[in-house]
């Protein structure tokens, strides 16, 4: 009997080892397919240009310490160029977009940027950037490595970081990270950067505060345009939450840093409220009178973070409460 048990154990150990090796082989195959895609993209893009260009792929650390492969097209005499993130393109490729279509998209965006002189006339001199410095709100805990190289100001369990805005159009927002080296060249400090970034962000990325029902209504219209049936709402909410973001809906959580934003929210909501960090792009403001416990609110935040966000969109697991009497915000869960 003992011999049979030993044989069974050896058999199951063998099965486990085989399963692990098969998994490793699958992962290696996926990696090979991805890097074959990267090589082909780089080669095809280089062939699209009649003059000598350097097409390079390098690692870039983005929000929440995520590493991305960035493809750049560099012409002689130019030092700044758009970044094209290859993981995003590979996902489009897997979903059915042909590689030639992706190459054409990259070339179009690059050539548009050159025609519009988006990067040609870009100066990183301090005097030229003063009105372009903007801010973002990111997780403090998940960006420790990134923050080693950036000036930042701590805000509760988050960090305020700074960028120089390059472009803001239908193709999206392009910006350059302000590093410690840049701040040193500018001979400036975090307090001055914050003052400039707050003023510019309020001007360029205006706050947008919408009742949740309005957001859902916009979503319903989109569903109807797609020919889909809108979901039935279970019940009306007496204390309706508000979505707080900016006019672009990108990196809109930083709106909670705007001057007197909490006072304006308190007027709309009618007193104290909770802030739920749904992503780096927006937060929810919910009346303290809604009757939800801190644990319920905490679970709501965790549910969104675990199931609804991309890894680089995460902001915080915390629940914050604004006290109207003391005009203060604190972590409560």
DSSP one-letter string for 156-196: TTEEEEEEEEEEEETTEEEEEE--HHHHHHHT--HHHHHHH
pLDDT at 77: 66
Q: What is the pLDDT of residues 255-291, one digit of tens each?
A: 999 999 999 999 999 999 999 999 999 999 999 999 8
Q: How far apart are CA 84 and CA 109, in angstroms?
A: 10
Return the percentage of the chain with pLDDT > 70, whole number.
80
More confident position, 178 or 234: 178
Q: Where residue 74 falls among pLDDT bands split at 50, 70, 90?
A: confident
Tell me the β-bridge partners of 330. Answer: 321
pLDDT band at 2 (very low <50, low <70, confident <90, very high): very low
Mean pLDDT of 104-115: 84
Model confidence at 155: pLDDT above 80: yes
pLDDT at position 20, please?
54
Dist. CA 314–CA 139, nearest whole Å: 7
Which pLDDT score, from 0 to 100, does residue 127 have? 93
Query: Is pLDDT of 220 > 70?
Result: no
Mean pLDDT (whole number) for 9-21: 51
Kindly indicate the confidence band of residue 48, based on its pLDDT and cuts at 50, 70 and 90: confident
Give the pLDDT confidence score for residue 11 in this predicted structure. 47
**Average pLDDT estimate for 63-92:** 84
- Looking at residue 117, the DSSP 8-state letter turns out to be T
- 83 close to 70: Cβ distance less than 8 angstroms: yes
CA distances for 266 relative to 210, 249, 283, angstroms: 14, 22, 15
Q: What is the pLDDT of residue 322?
A: 97
Report the pLDDT value the prediction gives residue 171, as an integer from 0 to 100: 64
* Cα–Cα distance, 43 to 82 (Å, whole number): 18
pLDDT reading at 9 higher than 70: no
């Amino acid at each position: 009997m003992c011999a049979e048990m030993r044989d069974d154990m050896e058999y199951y150990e063998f099965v486990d080892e085989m399963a692990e090796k098969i998994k490793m082989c699958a992962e290696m195959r996926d990696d090979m397919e991805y890097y074959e895609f990267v090589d082909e993209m780089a080669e095809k893009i280089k062939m699209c240009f009649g003059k000598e260009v350097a097409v390079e792929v390098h690692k870039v650390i983005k929000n929440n310490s995520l590493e991305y492969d960035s493809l750049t097209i560099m012409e002689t005499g130019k030092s700044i160029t758009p970044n094209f993130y290859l993981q995003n393109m590979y996902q489009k490729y897997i979903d059915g977009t042909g590689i030639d279509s992706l190459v054409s998209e990259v070339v179009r965006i690059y050539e548009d940027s050159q025609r519009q002189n988006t990067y040609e006339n870009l100066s990183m001199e301090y005097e030229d950037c003063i009105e372009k410095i903007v801010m973002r709100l990111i997780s403090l805990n998940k960006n420790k490595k990134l923050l080693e190289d950036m000036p930042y100001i701590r805000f509760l369990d988050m960090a305020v970081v700074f960028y120089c805005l390059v472009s803001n159009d239908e193709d999206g927002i392009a910006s350059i990270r302000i590093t410690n080296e840049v701040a040193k060249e500018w001979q400036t400090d975090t307090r001055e950067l914050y003052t400039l970034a707050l003023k510019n962000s309020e001007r360029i990325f205006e706050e947008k505060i919408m009742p949740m029902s309005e957001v859902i209504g916009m979503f319903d219209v989109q569903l109807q345009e797609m020919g889909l049936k809108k979901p039935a709402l279970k019940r009306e909410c007496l204390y309706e939450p508000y979505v707080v973001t900016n006019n672009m809906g990108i990196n809109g959580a930083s709106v909670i840093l705007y001057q007197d934003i909490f006072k304006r929210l308190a007027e709309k909501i009618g007193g104290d409220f909770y802030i739920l960090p749904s992503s780096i792009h927006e937060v929810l403001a919910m009346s303290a009178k809604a009757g939800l416990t801190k644990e319920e609110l905490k679970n709501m935040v965790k549910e969104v973070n675990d199931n609804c966000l991309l890894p680089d969109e995460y902001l915080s697991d915390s629940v914050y409460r604004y006290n109207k009497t003391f005009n203060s915000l604190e972590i409560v869960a």
